[in-house]
Amino acid sequence: MKLWSGRFTKQTDKLTEDFNASIAFDSRMYTQDIRGSQAHAAMLAKQGIITPEEGEQIIAALQAIEQEIASGQLEFTVEAEDVHMNIETFLTAKIGDVGKKLHTARSRNDQVALDVRLYLNDEIDSIRALLLELEASLLQVSGEHLETIMPGYTHLQKAQPITLAHHLMAYFEMLRRDVERLDDCRKRLLTMPLGSGALAATGFNLDREYVCEQLGFHTISRNSLDGVSDRDFAIEFCSFASILMMHLSRFAEEIILWSSDEFSFVQLDDGFSTGSSIMPQKKNPDIAELVRGKTGRVYGDLITLLTLMKALPLAYNKDMQEDKEALFDAIDTVKKCLLVFAPMLTTSRFQLDNMAEGARGGFTNATDLADYLVGKGLPFRDAHAVVGQAVLYCIDQQQVLEDLDLATFKQFSDKIEDDVYEHLDIMICVAKRKIPGGPAPETVKKAQFEAAQWLERMQNAHK
């Protein structure tokens, strides 16, 4: 018999039972449901709504139930619909009528709102740790390549020379913002909704602040209607997850390009590559491709939640049961991608000669020649035109700028002197870009030092 069946005159149809049940996916929140119920029971006893003995009996029984679920001694059933009613059924079977008192001054509406927040908070801890591990990996690999020259690109065309360290630190900055977004998301997540009831709170004298403190929340919800119907925190998390996955996808795309024969900038480790069932020579960047592909999946989870909530009247509606599968999928997908990305990166072998050769092609030092002419007194726009003509000449002659002799250079501008060649050296082109944010090795080294300090602060923030 359903725990809510008092006003019903017939049993639920089997099709309705299967369609309505959420236990198949919300069972993963059983530890959070039990934790919330224990805090609720302790508060009921503290307020004299149940006796201290009843509170202790409920709390102890819930602890035993948690252990029995973990060990496989108890199995969830569709008949009990969801994780909340399954656990309440176990509790009543274990301690009888005292177990029926647990749901006093509580609704499944504020109970599920509580459980999802508790669950997401626990998962954020895991995701944050994985994100910081990837940041540490980026810092490690970039530290090994302070003077590894490579071409920088715009429009996927060679633009100016940079270092691999500088390139990798760009992703460090993206992920740094993701960590900050995740921490900011948690600020609004840690609002305690229990006590909101179904929608209109309760006439019992609850101590909501006590439950808030027991469960580690920062504050209580200020409006009972909003307390049960708010899923902004889930949408905000999926927004964070989507932005993070966009960053991982961009990185994955570059790894895929760099590992191609056309680039040959990186060799992925065999442990993070796959082969072809027909072509014996193939070594495919499937892990990076899957990260790129799973990004769309997480975007879908965000759109699911936004669409789900866009037209719901206050307060709770059964539509909101659909929030959990999208949220859980985003959590699971992000964790899997972060877990595999760091070792894929640290085991990769960068082809330093190919990267340096790539930087020497495509006239990546053309801007430096223009800057050289500016230093000789030529207005930048005039210098730009002069260098454009020199590049066109080199293309026709199949040469590069640094191979031109001085007499040829002077055909384009009489301001060019012998000292031009040192300004065209690719390493010097990079080294002189030493303003904050630039790719010069000494600048990147300072950025890495600051990044290491930030990373240490973040790693210690929740210890």
Positions marked active-site? 155, 276
Q: In this structure, what DSSP letter does residue 274 have?
A: B
β-sheet bridge partners, residue 157: 154
CB of 347 within 8 A of CB of 315? no
Show the CA angle centred on residue 110, arms to residues 74 and 104, nearest 5°. 75
Q: How far apart are alpha carbons 165 and 168 in whole angstroms?
A: 5
Q: How far apart are alpha carbons 351 and 147 in whole angstroms?
A: 13
Residue found under tokens 């930048």: 380
For residues 428, 346, 137 and 326, what is the CA-based torsion angle, rounded to 10 degrees? 120
Strands 149-154 and 157-163 come out as antiparallel
CB of 32 within 8 A of CB of 18? no
Strands 191-192 and 219-220 come out as parallel
Residue found under tokens 């990798």: 168
What does the block give as tokens for 406? 């001085």
DSSP letter for each residue of 277-307: SS-TT--B-HHHHHHHHHHHHHHHHHHHHHH
Furthest-apart CA pair in the chain: how many Å? Answer: 102
Note the Cα 161 to chain centre separation in Å: 30
CB of 247 within 8 A of CB of 174? yes
For residues 6, 11, 17 and 23, what is the CA-based torsion angle, rounded to 10 degrees? 40
